[in-house]
Amino acid sequence: MSKYQPIIGLEIHVQLNTTTKLFCRCLNEYAPEDPNKNICPFCTGQPGALPLLNKEAVKKAIQFGVAVGAKIPERTRWDRKNYFYADLPSGYQISQYDNPIVEGGLVEFYIEDKETGSYKKSSVELTRAHLESDAAKLLHSRGKTYVDFNRSGAPLVEIVTEPVIRSSAQAMAFVNELQLLVRRLGISDGDMEKGQMRFDCNLSLQNESQQSSGDLPSYRTETKNINSVRSLGRAIEYEIIRQTKLLEKGETPVQETRGWKDDLNKSTSQRSKEDAMDYRYFPEPDLKILEISSSDIPELNNLPQLPSDQRNQYIEMGLNMQIVNTFVGQSQLGDLFDSTIELKSVRSESKNKELTIAIANLLTGPVLAASTKNEKDIEEFITNENLLDIAELFSHDKINNKAVVKIIDELISGKKDVKNIVSENNLEQVSDTGALGNIVDSVITNNPKVVEEYKSGKVQVIGFMIGQCMKESKGQGNPKIFKDLLTEKLA
Protein backbone atom coordinates (compact mmCIF):
# COMPACT_ATOMS: atom_id res chain seq x y z
CA MET A 1 0.00 0.00 0.00
CA SER A 2 1.44 3.33 -0.95
CA LYS A 3 0.83 6.35 1.21
CA TYR A 4 -1.51 8.06 -1.26
CA GLN A 5 -3.53 6.34 -3.93
CA PRO A 6 -5.11 8.40 -6.72
CA ILE A 7 -8.78 7.86 -7.41
CA ILE A 8 -9.90 9.23 -10.73
CA GLY A 9 -13.20 9.67 -12.53
CA LEU A 10 -13.39 10.98 -16.08
CA GLU A 11 -15.97 12.85 -18.11
CA ILE A 12 -15.44 12.48 -21.81
CA HIS A 13 -17.21 14.66 -24.35
CA VAL A 14 -17.46 12.90 -27.68
CA GLN A 15 -18.80 14.84 -30.64
CA LEU A 16 -21.11 12.70 -32.74
CA ASN A 17 -20.61 12.75 -36.51
CA THR A 18 -24.24 13.33 -37.43
CA THR A 19 -25.04 15.21 -40.64
CA THR A 20 -26.84 18.00 -38.82
CA LYS A 21 -26.72 19.52 -35.33
CA LEU A 22 -28.58 18.15 -32.33
CA PHE A 23 -31.59 20.50 -32.27
CA CYS A 24 -31.58 22.31 -35.63
CA ARG A 25 -31.01 21.46 -39.26
CA CYS A 26 -27.71 23.28 -39.60
CA LEU A 27 -24.84 21.17 -40.91
CA ASN A 28 -22.67 19.63 -38.21
CA GLU A 29 -19.43 20.43 -39.96
CA TYR A 30 -15.89 21.27 -38.85
CA ALA A 31 -15.19 24.48 -40.74
CA PRO A 32 -12.79 26.69 -38.76
CA GLU A 33 -11.74 28.55 -41.92
CA ASP A 34 -15.35 29.54 -42.50
CA PRO A 35 -16.72 30.81 -39.16
CA ASN A 36 -20.48 31.18 -38.70
CA LYS A 37 -21.15 29.29 -41.91
CA ASN A 38 -23.69 26.86 -40.45
CA ILE A 39 -25.96 28.87 -38.20
CA CYS A 40 -29.66 29.58 -37.69
CA PRO A 41 -31.85 31.41 -35.14
CA PHE A 42 -31.86 28.36 -32.85
CA CYS A 43 -28.14 27.66 -32.60
CA THR A 44 -27.35 31.34 -32.21
CA GLY A 45 -29.70 31.43 -29.21
CA GLN A 46 -32.33 33.80 -30.51
CA PRO A 47 -35.50 34.13 -28.42
CA GLY A 48 -38.47 32.11 -29.65
CA ALA A 49 -36.48 29.69 -31.83
CA LEU A 50 -37.56 26.11 -31.08
CA PRO A 51 -35.48 22.92 -30.91
CA LEU A 52 -36.12 20.02 -33.26
CA LEU A 53 -34.53 16.77 -32.10
CA ASN A 54 -32.11 15.01 -34.45
CA LYS A 55 -33.02 11.29 -34.32
CA GLU A 56 -29.67 10.32 -35.82
CA ALA A 57 -27.88 11.58 -32.69
CA VAL A 58 -30.26 9.59 -30.48
CA LYS A 59 -29.59 6.47 -32.55
CA LYS A 60 -25.82 6.91 -32.21
CA ALA A 61 -26.00 7.43 -28.45
CA ILE A 62 -28.07 4.23 -28.14
CA GLN A 63 -25.51 2.32 -30.23
CA PHE A 64 -22.82 3.43 -27.83
CA GLY A 65 -24.93 2.26 -24.89
CA VAL A 66 -25.49 -1.16 -26.43
CA ALA A 67 -21.79 -1.52 -27.23
CA VAL A 68 -20.78 -0.95 -23.59
CA GLY A 69 -23.54 -3.21 -22.25
CA ALA A 70 -25.44 -0.34 -20.62
CA LYS A 71 -29.13 -0.08 -19.84
CA ILE A 72 -31.16 2.02 -22.26
CA PRO A 73 -34.22 3.38 -20.42
CA GLU A 74 -37.73 3.35 -21.91
CA ARG A 75 -37.98 7.10 -21.54
CA THR A 76 -35.37 9.80 -21.36
CA ARG A 77 -35.75 13.47 -20.60
CA TRP A 78 -34.10 16.72 -21.68
CA ASP A 79 -33.09 19.36 -19.17
CA ARG A 80 -31.89 22.92 -19.34
CA LYS A 81 -28.51 23.55 -17.81
CA ASN A 82 -28.44 27.27 -17.10
CA TYR A 83 -25.30 29.33 -17.06
CA PHE A 84 -24.05 32.52 -18.56
CA TYR A 85 -21.03 32.53 -20.79
CA ALA A 86 -20.06 34.43 -23.92
CA ASP A 87 -20.13 31.27 -26.07
CA LEU A 88 -23.68 30.46 -24.94
CA PRO A 89 -26.01 33.29 -25.97
CA SER A 90 -29.22 31.45 -25.03
CA GLY A 91 -28.00 31.30 -21.43
CA TYR A 92 -28.60 27.54 -21.28
CA GLN A 93 -27.47 24.29 -22.79
CA ILE A 94 -29.93 21.48 -23.51
CA SER A 95 -28.59 18.45 -21.67
CA GLN A 96 -29.85 15.50 -19.63
CA TYR A 97 -29.76 15.65 -15.87
CA ASP A 98 -31.17 12.72 -13.90
CA ASN A 99 -32.61 10.65 -16.73
CA PRO A 100 -29.77 10.00 -19.20
CA ILE A 101 -30.12 7.94 -22.37
CA VAL A 102 -27.38 5.49 -21.31
CA GLU A 103 -27.16 4.06 -17.78
CA GLY A 104 -24.10 2.13 -16.58
CA GLY A 105 -21.85 0.11 -18.88
CA LEU A 106 -18.33 -1.24 -18.91
CA VAL A 107 -15.31 -0.73 -21.17
CA GLU A 108 -12.61 -3.44 -21.28
CA PHE A 109 -9.10 -2.83 -22.54
CA TYR A 110 -5.42 -3.65 -21.98
CA ILE A 111 -2.70 -1.54 -20.40
CA GLU A 112 0.84 -1.87 -21.66
CA ASP A 113 3.63 -2.04 -19.11
CA LYS A 114 6.23 0.07 -20.94
CA GLU A 115 9.10 -1.40 -18.91
CA THR A 116 8.41 -5.08 -19.48
CA GLY A 117 6.42 -4.80 -22.71
CA SER A 118 3.70 -6.98 -21.20
CA TYR A 119 -0.02 -6.23 -21.20
CA LYS A 120 -2.49 -6.28 -18.35
CA LYS A 121 -6.24 -6.60 -18.72
CA SER A 122 -8.27 -3.74 -17.25
CA SER A 123 -11.75 -2.27 -17.31
CA VAL A 124 -13.60 0.90 -16.33
CA GLU A 125 -17.24 1.05 -15.22
CA LEU A 126 -19.37 3.83 -16.62
CA THR A 127 -21.91 5.70 -14.56
CA ARG A 128 -23.83 7.03 -17.52
CA ALA A 129 -23.72 8.77 -20.87
CA HIS A 130 -26.05 11.52 -21.96
CA LEU A 131 -26.70 13.71 -24.96
CA GLU A 132 -26.18 17.46 -24.93
CA SER A 133 -25.53 20.29 -27.32
CA ASP A 134 -22.10 21.87 -27.60
CA ALA A 135 -21.43 25.57 -27.01
CA ALA A 136 -19.96 27.94 -29.61
CA LYS A 137 -16.24 28.61 -29.81
CA LEU A 138 -14.49 31.79 -28.74
CA LEU A 139 -11.45 33.01 -30.63
CA HIS A 140 -9.15 35.56 -29.07
CA SER A 141 -7.06 37.68 -31.39
CA ARG A 142 -5.25 41.00 -30.97
CA GLY A 143 -7.13 42.01 -27.87
CA LYS A 144 -10.53 41.13 -29.33
CA THR A 145 -12.76 38.12 -28.86
CA TYR A 146 -14.76 36.60 -31.70
CA VAL A 147 -17.50 33.97 -31.58
CA ASP A 148 -17.79 31.15 -34.10
CA PHE A 149 -21.21 29.47 -33.91
CA ASN A 150 -20.38 26.58 -36.26
CA ARG A 151 -19.89 24.31 -33.24
CA SER A 152 -22.88 25.69 -31.32
CA GLY A 153 -25.52 22.97 -31.07
CA ALA A 154 -23.25 20.17 -32.28
CA PRO A 155 -24.29 16.86 -30.70
CA LEU A 156 -22.15 15.61 -27.84
CA VAL A 157 -22.39 12.43 -25.89
CA GLU A 158 -20.90 12.99 -22.45
CA ILE A 159 -19.57 9.75 -21.00
CA VAL A 160 -19.11 9.71 -17.23
CA THR A 161 -17.06 7.01 -15.49
CA GLU A 162 -17.27 5.78 -11.93
CA PRO A 163 -14.35 6.95 -9.74
CA VAL A 164 -12.42 3.73 -10.32
CA ILE A 165 -9.37 4.75 -12.36
CA ARG A 166 -6.09 4.39 -10.46
CA SER A 167 -3.33 5.78 -12.67
CA SER A 168 -2.56 7.98 -15.64
CA ALA A 169 -1.62 4.86 -17.63
CA GLN A 170 -5.03 3.33 -16.98
CA ALA A 171 -6.82 6.59 -17.85
CA MET A 172 -4.89 6.95 -21.09
CA ALA A 173 -5.45 3.33 -22.13
CA PHE A 174 -9.15 3.73 -21.36
CA VAL A 175 -9.67 6.85 -23.49
CA ASN A 176 -7.65 5.28 -26.31
CA GLU A 177 -10.06 2.36 -26.19
CA LEU A 178 -13.04 4.73 -26.20
CA GLN A 179 -11.66 6.44 -29.28
CA LEU A 180 -11.28 3.08 -31.02
CA LEU A 181 -14.79 2.13 -29.98
CA VAL A 182 -16.60 5.27 -31.20
CA ARG A 183 -14.69 5.12 -34.46
CA ARG A 184 -15.49 1.44 -34.93
CA LEU A 185 -19.17 2.10 -34.25
CA GLY A 186 -18.99 4.95 -36.75
CA ILE A 187 -20.67 7.35 -34.34
CA SER A 188 -17.79 9.85 -34.08
CA ASP A 189 -14.58 10.61 -35.94
CA GLY A 190 -12.93 10.95 -32.51
CA ASP A 191 -10.43 13.45 -33.89
CA MET A 192 -8.90 15.14 -30.85
CA GLU A 193 -7.12 17.79 -32.90
CA LYS A 194 -10.55 18.94 -34.02
CA GLY A 195 -11.84 18.88 -30.45
CA GLN A 196 -14.08 15.89 -31.12
CA MET A 197 -13.00 14.23 -27.86
CA ARG A 198 -12.40 16.37 -24.75
CA PHE A 199 -11.73 15.30 -21.20
CA ASP A 200 -12.50 16.55 -17.70
CA CYS A 201 -10.69 14.75 -14.91
CA ASN A 202 -11.88 14.38 -11.30
CA LEU A 203 -9.10 13.38 -8.97
CA SER A 204 -8.39 13.01 -5.28
CA LEU A 205 -5.89 11.02 -3.23
CA GLN A 206 -6.94 8.35 -0.76
CA ASN A 207 -4.81 8.08 2.37
CA GLU A 208 -3.97 4.68 3.85
CA SER A 209 -7.04 4.38 6.06
CA GLN A 210 -9.33 5.41 3.17
CA GLN A 211 -7.60 2.84 0.98
CA SER A 212 -8.41 0.03 3.41
CA SER A 213 -11.94 1.22 4.19
CA GLY A 214 -12.71 2.11 0.56
CA ASP A 215 -13.93 5.57 1.58
CA LEU A 216 -13.54 8.44 -0.83
CA PRO A 217 -11.62 11.55 0.27
CA SER A 218 -13.68 14.53 1.43
CA TYR A 219 -12.58 16.65 -1.51
CA ARG A 220 -11.86 16.30 -5.21
CA THR A 221 -10.64 18.58 -7.95
CA GLU A 222 -11.92 18.73 -11.48
CA THR A 223 -9.42 19.60 -14.22
CA LYS A 224 -11.11 20.84 -17.38
CA ASN A 225 -10.07 21.63 -20.98
CA ILE A 226 -7.94 18.56 -21.64
CA ASN A 227 -7.81 17.93 -25.38
CA SER A 228 -5.47 15.02 -25.98
CA VAL A 229 -4.51 11.68 -24.46
CA ARG A 230 -1.02 12.94 -23.76
CA SER A 231 -2.35 16.01 -21.97
CA LEU A 232 -4.69 13.80 -19.96
CA GLY A 233 -1.70 11.80 -18.70
CA ARG A 234 0.21 14.97 -17.87
CA ALA A 235 -2.76 16.62 -16.15
CA ILE A 236 -3.19 13.55 -13.93
CA GLU A 237 0.50 13.39 -13.02
CA TYR A 238 0.53 17.12 -12.32
CA GLU A 239 -2.49 16.89 -10.03
CA ILE A 240 -1.13 13.86 -8.14
CA ILE A 241 2.09 15.73 -7.35
CA ARG A 242 0.27 18.95 -6.42
CA GLN A 243 -2.16 17.19 -4.05
CA THR A 244 0.55 15.00 -2.52
CA LYS A 245 2.56 18.11 -1.59
CA LEU A 246 -0.49 19.67 0.11
CA LEU A 247 -1.42 16.48 1.99
CA GLU A 248 2.15 16.04 3.20
CA LYS A 249 2.01 19.54 4.66
CA GLY A 250 -1.10 18.44 6.55
CA GLU A 251 -3.45 20.48 4.34
CA THR A 252 -6.53 19.25 2.49
CA PRO A 253 -6.60 20.27 -1.17
CA VAL A 254 -9.40 22.72 -1.97
CA GLN A 255 -12.44 21.33 -3.76
CA GLU A 256 -12.26 23.31 -6.98
CA THR A 257 -12.39 23.42 -10.75
CA ARG A 258 -9.04 23.82 -12.45
CA GLY A 259 -8.20 24.62 -16.06
CA TRP A 260 -5.47 22.69 -17.89
CA LYS A 261 -2.98 24.93 -19.68
CA ASP A 262 -1.41 22.74 -22.31
CA ASP A 263 1.31 25.21 -23.28
CA LEU A 264 2.38 25.67 -19.65
CA ASN A 265 2.01 21.99 -18.71
CA LYS A 266 0.06 22.86 -15.59
CA SER A 267 -3.42 23.61 -14.34
CA THR A 268 -4.63 26.75 -12.58
CA SER A 269 -7.54 27.27 -10.23
CA GLN A 270 -10.73 28.49 -11.93
CA ARG A 271 -13.31 28.45 -9.20
CA SER A 272 -13.66 26.98 -5.73
CA LYS A 273 -16.56 25.20 -4.05
CA GLU A 274 -17.91 28.48 -2.67
CA ASP A 275 -18.53 29.88 -6.13
CA ALA A 276 -19.30 26.51 -7.76
CA MET A 277 -21.74 26.72 -10.63
CA ASP A 278 -25.38 26.22 -9.75
CA TYR A 279 -26.90 25.23 -13.05
CA ARG A 280 -30.54 25.30 -11.90
CA TYR A 281 -31.44 22.34 -14.04
CA PHE A 282 -35.10 22.08 -15.00
CA PRO A 283 -36.96 19.98 -17.60
CA GLU A 284 -36.67 21.48 -21.08
CA PRO A 285 -40.17 22.87 -21.82
CA ASP A 286 -39.74 22.88 -25.61
CA LEU A 287 -39.02 19.15 -25.97
CA LYS A 288 -41.16 16.10 -25.21
CA ILE A 289 -39.95 13.24 -23.05
CA LEU A 290 -38.33 10.83 -25.50
CA GLU A 291 -39.92 7.36 -25.62
CA ILE A 292 -37.51 4.60 -26.64
CA SER A 293 -39.09 1.37 -27.82
CA SER A 294 -37.24 -1.94 -27.92
CA SER A 295 -37.19 -1.74 -31.73
CA ASP A 296 -35.05 1.41 -31.41
CA ILE A 297 -32.37 -0.60 -29.61
CA PRO A 298 -30.12 -2.64 -31.92
CA GLU A 299 -28.85 -6.09 -30.97
CA LEU A 300 -25.16 -6.20 -30.15
CA ASN A 301 -24.73 -8.67 -33.04
CA ASN A 302 -25.96 -6.05 -35.47
CA LEU A 303 -23.26 -3.57 -34.51
CA PRO A 304 -19.76 -3.64 -36.02
CA GLN A 305 -17.43 -6.01 -34.18
CA LEU A 306 -16.22 -4.32 -31.01
CA PRO A 307 -12.47 -3.70 -30.65
CA SER A 308 -12.39 -5.74 -27.42
CA ASP A 309 -14.05 -8.75 -29.09
CA GLN A 310 -11.74 -8.49 -32.07
CA ARG A 311 -8.75 -8.33 -29.74
CA ASN A 312 -9.83 -11.46 -27.85
CA GLN A 313 -10.34 -13.30 -31.12
CA TYR A 314 -6.79 -12.49 -32.27
CA ILE A 315 -5.32 -13.45 -28.89
CA GLU A 316 -7.03 -16.83 -29.21
CA MET A 317 -5.45 -17.27 -32.64
CA GLY A 318 -2.06 -17.04 -30.92
CA LEU A 319 -0.99 -13.59 -32.18
CA ASN A 320 1.19 -11.50 -29.90
CA MET A 321 -0.27 -8.35 -28.33
CA GLN A 322 1.73 -5.95 -30.43
CA ILE A 323 0.35 -7.46 -33.64
CA VAL A 324 -3.12 -7.71 -32.09
CA ASN A 325 -3.09 -3.99 -31.32
CA THR A 326 -1.81 -3.13 -34.79
CA PHE A 327 -4.73 -5.00 -36.37
CA VAL A 328 -7.31 -3.56 -33.97
CA GLY A 329 -5.96 -0.03 -34.28
CA GLN A 330 -5.43 0.00 -38.04
CA SER A 331 -8.62 -1.38 -39.47
CA GLN A 332 -7.26 -1.60 -43.02
CA LEU A 333 -4.59 -4.05 -41.89
CA GLY A 334 -7.03 -5.89 -39.64
CA ASP A 335 -9.51 -6.30 -42.51
CA LEU A 336 -6.81 -7.63 -44.82
CA PHE A 337 -5.74 -10.11 -42.19
CA ASP A 338 -9.34 -11.25 -41.62
CA SER A 339 -10.05 -11.76 -45.30
CA THR A 340 -6.78 -13.65 -45.78
CA ILE A 341 -7.65 -15.91 -42.85
CA GLU A 342 -11.03 -16.53 -44.48
CA LEU A 343 -9.32 -17.54 -47.69
CA LYS A 344 -7.00 -19.78 -45.69
CA SER A 345 -9.97 -21.69 -44.31
CA VAL A 346 -11.29 -22.12 -47.88
CA ARG A 347 -7.96 -23.71 -48.75
CA SER A 348 -8.67 -26.05 -45.80
CA GLU A 349 -5.68 -24.86 -43.81
CA SER A 350 -7.94 -23.46 -41.10
CA LYS A 351 -6.26 -25.46 -38.35
CA ASN A 352 -2.72 -24.48 -39.30
CA LYS A 353 -1.77 -22.08 -36.50
CA GLU A 354 1.75 -21.58 -37.79
CA LEU A 355 0.34 -20.33 -41.08
CA THR A 356 -1.95 -17.87 -39.25
CA ILE A 357 1.05 -16.42 -37.47
CA ALA A 358 3.04 -16.33 -40.72
CA ILE A 359 0.26 -14.27 -42.35
CA ALA A 360 0.17 -11.86 -39.40
CA ASN A 361 3.97 -11.47 -39.36
CA LEU A 362 4.06 -10.99 -43.12
CA LEU A 363 1.43 -8.23 -43.03
CA THR A 364 2.80 -6.29 -40.07
CA GLY A 365 6.43 -6.83 -41.10
CA PRO A 366 7.68 -6.74 -44.71
CA VAL A 367 4.33 -5.85 -46.33
CA LEU A 368 3.68 -2.85 -44.06
CA ALA A 369 7.31 -1.74 -44.45
CA ALA A 370 7.08 -1.94 -48.25
CA SER A 371 3.83 0.02 -48.21
CA THR A 372 5.44 2.80 -46.16
CA LYS A 373 8.66 2.84 -48.17
CA ASN A 374 6.88 2.98 -51.54
CA GLU A 375 4.06 5.22 -50.30
CA LYS A 376 1.52 2.78 -51.67
CA ASP A 377 -1.63 1.41 -50.13
CA ILE A 378 -1.20 -2.28 -49.35
CA GLU A 379 -4.23 -3.19 -51.47
CA GLU A 380 -2.61 -1.52 -54.46
CA PHE A 381 0.08 -4.17 -54.75
CA ILE A 382 -0.95 -7.28 -52.86
CA THR A 383 -4.08 -9.45 -52.80
CA ASN A 384 -5.33 -11.99 -50.29
CA GLU A 385 -4.19 -14.74 -52.65
CA ASN A 386 -0.70 -13.24 -52.82
CA LEU A 387 -0.51 -12.97 -49.03
CA LEU A 388 -1.65 -16.51 -48.50
CA ASP A 389 0.68 -17.87 -51.21
CA ILE A 390 3.70 -16.15 -49.66
CA ALA A 391 2.79 -17.20 -46.11
CA GLU A 392 2.23 -20.80 -47.22
CA LEU A 393 5.57 -20.99 -49.02
CA PHE A 394 7.28 -19.48 -45.99
CA SER A 395 5.63 -21.59 -43.33
CA HIS A 396 6.24 -24.74 -45.40
CA ASP A 397 9.94 -23.80 -45.52
CA LYS A 398 9.92 -23.30 -49.29
CA ILE A 399 11.20 -19.72 -49.19
CA ASN A 400 13.20 -17.67 -46.70
CA ASN A 401 12.87 -14.08 -45.44
CA LYS A 402 15.05 -12.67 -48.19
CA ALA A 403 12.87 -14.26 -50.84
CA VAL A 404 9.76 -12.81 -49.16
CA VAL A 405 11.16 -9.29 -49.56
CA LYS A 406 12.08 -9.99 -53.21
CA ILE A 407 8.56 -11.29 -53.95
CA ILE A 408 6.99 -8.16 -52.43
CA ASP A 409 9.30 -5.97 -54.52
CA GLU A 410 8.21 -7.81 -57.66
CA LEU A 411 4.54 -7.40 -56.71
CA ILE A 412 5.08 -3.66 -56.25
CA SER A 413 6.68 -3.48 -59.70
CA GLY A 414 3.48 -4.90 -61.15
CA LYS A 415 3.90 -8.67 -61.16
CA LYS A 416 0.79 -10.56 -60.08
CA ASP A 417 1.52 -14.22 -59.47
CA VAL A 418 3.64 -15.28 -56.51
CA LYS A 419 4.46 -18.77 -57.82
CA ASN A 420 5.67 -17.32 -61.14
CA ILE A 421 7.81 -14.79 -59.31
CA VAL A 422 9.37 -17.59 -57.28
CA SER A 423 10.22 -19.74 -60.30
CA GLU A 424 11.33 -16.86 -62.56
CA ASN A 425 13.71 -15.59 -59.89
CA ASN A 426 14.82 -18.97 -58.61
CA LEU A 427 13.68 -18.08 -55.12
CA GLU A 428 12.77 -21.53 -53.94
CA GLN A 429 14.78 -22.41 -50.91
CA VAL A 430 17.05 -25.40 -51.26
CA SER A 431 16.53 -27.80 -48.38
CA ASP A 432 18.26 -30.78 -49.96
CA THR A 433 20.94 -31.68 -47.42
CA GLY A 434 23.22 -33.16 -50.08
CA ALA A 435 23.48 -29.94 -52.10
CA LEU A 436 23.69 -27.76 -48.98
CA GLY A 437 26.25 -30.10 -47.42
CA ASN A 438 28.68 -29.32 -50.26
CA ILE A 439 28.32 -25.61 -49.59
CA VAL A 440 28.86 -26.13 -45.87
CA ASP A 441 32.02 -28.15 -46.59
CA SER A 442 33.49 -25.43 -48.76
CA VAL A 443 32.67 -22.69 -46.23
CA ILE A 444 34.40 -24.74 -43.51
CA THR A 445 37.47 -25.25 -45.73
CA ASN A 446 37.65 -21.56 -46.70
CA ASN A 447 37.34 -20.18 -43.18
CA PRO A 448 39.83 -22.07 -41.02
CA LYS A 449 40.27 -19.19 -38.58
CA VAL A 450 36.56 -18.92 -37.85
CA VAL A 451 36.33 -22.68 -37.47
CA GLU A 452 39.10 -22.51 -34.88
CA GLU A 453 37.27 -19.79 -32.98
CA TYR A 454 34.12 -21.87 -33.00
CA LYS A 455 35.93 -24.92 -31.72
CA SER A 456 37.56 -22.91 -28.94
CA GLY A 457 34.09 -22.10 -27.60
CA LYS A 458 33.11 -18.89 -29.43
CA VAL A 459 29.96 -20.55 -30.74
CA GLN A 460 28.27 -17.31 -31.85
CA VAL A 461 30.53 -17.21 -34.94
CA ILE A 462 28.15 -19.77 -36.41
CA GLY A 463 26.01 -16.80 -37.47
CA PHE A 464 28.84 -15.61 -39.70
CA MET A 465 29.23 -19.08 -41.19
CA ILE A 466 25.50 -19.35 -41.91
CA GLY A 467 25.75 -15.98 -43.63
CA GLN A 468 28.63 -17.28 -45.78
CA CYS A 469 26.60 -20.37 -46.69
CA MET A 470 23.61 -18.21 -47.63
CA LYS A 471 25.86 -16.07 -49.82
CA GLU A 472 27.32 -19.09 -51.55
CA SER A 473 23.82 -20.48 -52.17
CA LYS A 474 22.80 -17.10 -53.63
CA GLY A 475 20.24 -16.69 -50.89
CA GLN A 476 18.45 -19.91 -51.74
CA GLY A 477 19.69 -22.18 -49.00
CA ASN A 478 17.56 -22.93 -45.99
CA PRO A 479 19.35 -21.23 -43.07
CA LYS A 480 17.90 -23.70 -40.57
CA ILE A 481 19.41 -26.61 -42.44
CA PHE A 482 22.73 -24.77 -42.82
CA LYS A 483 22.80 -24.32 -39.06
CA ASP A 484 22.07 -27.99 -38.42
CA LEU A 485 24.72 -29.13 -40.90
CA LEU A 486 27.35 -26.72 -39.55
CA THR A 487 26.73 -27.79 -35.97
CA GLU A 488 26.95 -31.41 -36.97
CA LYS A 489 30.08 -31.11 -39.07
CA LEU A 490 31.95 -28.90 -36.57
CA ALA A 491 31.14 -31.10 -33.59
Tell me the residue type at 69.
Answer: G
Q: How far apart are CA 86 and CA 70, in angstroms?
A: 35
Minimum separation from the CB atom of position 275 to Zn ion (A): 32
- Between 41 and 463, whose beta carbon lies closer to Zn ion? 41
Backbone angles phi, psi at 370, to 5 degrees: -65, -35
Tell me how far, at minimum, the Cβ of 42 lies from Zn ion, in Å.
Answer: 5
Based on the shown chain and the rule CB under 5 A, indicate whether residue 40 belongs to the binding site for Zn ion. Answer: yes
Contact segment (CB under 5 A) with Zn ion among 19-27, 91-99, 175-183, 219-227 equals 19-27
- Binding segment (CB under 5 A) for Zn ion, from list 25-33, 77-85, 331-339, 448-456: 25-33
Which positions ≥6 away from 17 have C-beta within 8 Å? 28, 60, 186, 187, 188, 189, 196
**Minimum CB–partner distance for residue 29 and Zn ion (Å):** 11
The 3-state secondary structure of 434-449 reads HHHHHHHHHHHHHCHH
- Binding status of residue 49 toward Zn ion by CB under 5 A: no
Separation CA 196–CA 15 (nearest Å): 5
- 210 phi-psi bin (left φ>0, alpha ψ -120 to 50, beta other): alpha
Q: Which is nearer to Zn ion, 26 or 391 (CB)?
A: 26
Decide: is 321 part of the binding site for Zn ion (CB under 5 A). no
3-class DSSP state of 217: coil
Residues in the interface with Zn ion (CB under 5 A) total 5
- When asked if residue 136 is in the footprint of Zn ion (CB under 5 A), the reply is no
- In the complex, the smallest distance separating the C-beta of residue 227 from Zn ion, rounded to whole angstroms, is 24
Q: Can you tell me which of 8, 14, 16, 26 binds Zn ion, judged by CB under 5 A? A: 26
Nearer to Zn ion, 21 or 258 (CB): 21
Q: Is the Cα dihedral 448, 451, 457, 461 positive or negative?
A: positive
Q: Are 102 and 85 in contact (CB under 8 A)?
A: no
52 belongs to the binding site for Zn ion (CB under 5 A): no
Does residue number 24 form part of the binding site for Zn ion (CB under 5 A)?
A: yes
From 17-25, 65-73, 267-275, 379-387, span contacting Zn ion (CB under 5 A) = 17-25
User: Among residues 24 and 387, whose Cβ is nearest to Zn ion?
Assistant: 24
Taking the CA atoms of the chain, what radius of gyration do you get in angstroms? 30
Distance CA 382, CA 372 (A): 14
Decide whether 76 or 152 has the Cβ nearer to Zn ion: 152
Cβ at position 21, least distance to Zn ion in Å: 5
H or E element at residue 82: strand 79-82
Nearer to Zn ion, 87 or 296 (CB): 87
Is there binding between residue 466 and Zn ion (CB under 5 A)? no
Say if residues 127 and 162 touch (Cβ distance below 8 Å): yes
Per the CB < 8 A criterion, the answer to whether 42 and 23 are in contact is: yes
Angle 407-410-412 from CA coordinates, rounded to 5°: 110
Cα separation, 474 vs 180, whole angstroms = 46
Region of 42-50, 100-108, 126-134, 222-230 interacting with Zn ion (CB under 5 A): 42-50
Which DSSP helix (H) or strand (E) runs through 485?
helix 479-490
User: What would the x/- binding string for Zn ion be over residues 230 to 259, using CB under 5 A?
Assistant: ------------------------------
Contact 326, 364 (CB under 8 A): yes
Among 7, 12, 43, 181, binds Zn ion (CB under 5 A): 43
* Cβ distance to Zn ion smaller for residue 133 or 161: 133
Closer to Zn ion by Cβ: residue 24 or 111: 24
> CB–CB of 400/374 below 8 Å?
no
Confirm or reject binding of residue 443 to Zn ion (CB under 5 A): no
User: Considering beta carbons, is residue 23 or 454 the nearer one to Zn ion?
Assistant: 23
Closest CB 25 distance from Zn ion, rounded Å = 7
Nearer to Zn ion, 43 or 187 (CB): 43
Nearer to Zn ion, 14 or 39 (CB): 39
245-281 burial, b if ≥16 CB within 10 A, otherwise e? eebeeeeebebbbbebeeeeeebeeeeeeeeeeeeee
Which span sits near Zn ion by CB under 5 A: 41-49, 79-87, 405-413, 476-484? 41-49
Candidates 32-40, 157-165, 302-310, 406-414; binding stretch for Zn ion (CB under 5 A): 32-40
Sites of contact with Zn ion (CB under 5 A): 24, 26, 40, 42-43
